[in-house]
């Protein structure tokens, strides 16, 4: 299944060229290894208005199935990615962030400090990932098994229900 993905790195320092973006390229590598297509990628500052506007524009474009953000999910006052995401989603998907935090807790107790959110806008799934390359890739690994099915459901693909058993 072809999945169209956008990646947004949220980092003041990377946006201003003070630090190289390592998380965006790490996610790009994992996504392409899955055979999925990254059709948009950018770096934005930790600015709730700019990030909200970009998320809404990308989700409403009809060009993406999934938007992954990396960065801005911690406790720092500049960490506003969850707020930007929550401001524009139409339906939250708490199971995704619960699964990511649960898996991450087996690796580090710092996982409980994640404020990541996830949700759906239009027919696009938006998921916040940690800012570190290691954390971003580990959290994406939790999502990989379910992303094709999630995209089938969002596309209202009739085959998405195949394999589901009636209760």
Q: What is the mean pLDDT of the chain?
A: 96
Q: Is residue 71 part of a domain?
A: yes
- 48, with CB counted inside 10 A (0-12, 13-18, 19+), is middle
State the residue range of the domain holding 85: 4-158
Q: Is residue 46 part of a domain?
A: yes
* 17/58 Cα distance (integer angstroms): 23
Q: Is residue 164 part of a domain?
A: no
Domains identified in the chain, total number: 1
Q: Is residue 134 part of a domain?
A: yes
* Cα angle: 62, vertex 148, 110; to 5 degrees: 100
Q: Is residue 114 part of a domain?
A: yes
Q: What would the mean pLDDT of 132-139 be, rounded to a whole number?
A: 98
* 145/127 Cα distance (integer angstroms): 15
For residue 164, the model assigns a pLDDT of: 61
User: Is 166's pLDDT higher than 80?
Assistant: no
Between 161 and 92, where is the model more confident?
92
Quote the DSSP letter at residue 14.
H
- CATH number, domain of 90, equals 3.40.980.10
For residue 167, the model assigns a pLDDT of: 46
């Amino acid at each position: 299944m072809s999945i169209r993905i956008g990646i947004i790195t949220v980092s003041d320092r990377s946006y201003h060229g003070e630090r190289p973006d390592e998380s965006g390229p790490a996610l790009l590598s994992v996504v392409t290894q899955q055979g999925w297509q990254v059709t948009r990628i950018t770096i934005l500052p930790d600015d709730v208005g700019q990030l909200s506007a970009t998320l809404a524009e990308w989700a409403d474009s009809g060009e993406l199935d999934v938007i992954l953000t990396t960065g801005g999910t911690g406790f720092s006052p500049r960490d506003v990615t969850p707020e930007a995401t929550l401001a524009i989603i139409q339906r939250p998907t708490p199971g995704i962030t619960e699964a990511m935090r649960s898996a991450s807790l087996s690796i580090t107790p710092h996982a409980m400090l994640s404020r990541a959110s996830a949700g759906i806008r239009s027919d696009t799934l938006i998921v916040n990932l940690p800012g570190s390359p290691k954390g971003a890739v580990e959290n994406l690994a939790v999502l990989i098994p379910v992303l094709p099915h999630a995209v089938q459901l969002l596309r209202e693909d009739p085959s998405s229900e195949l394999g589901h058993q009636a209760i």
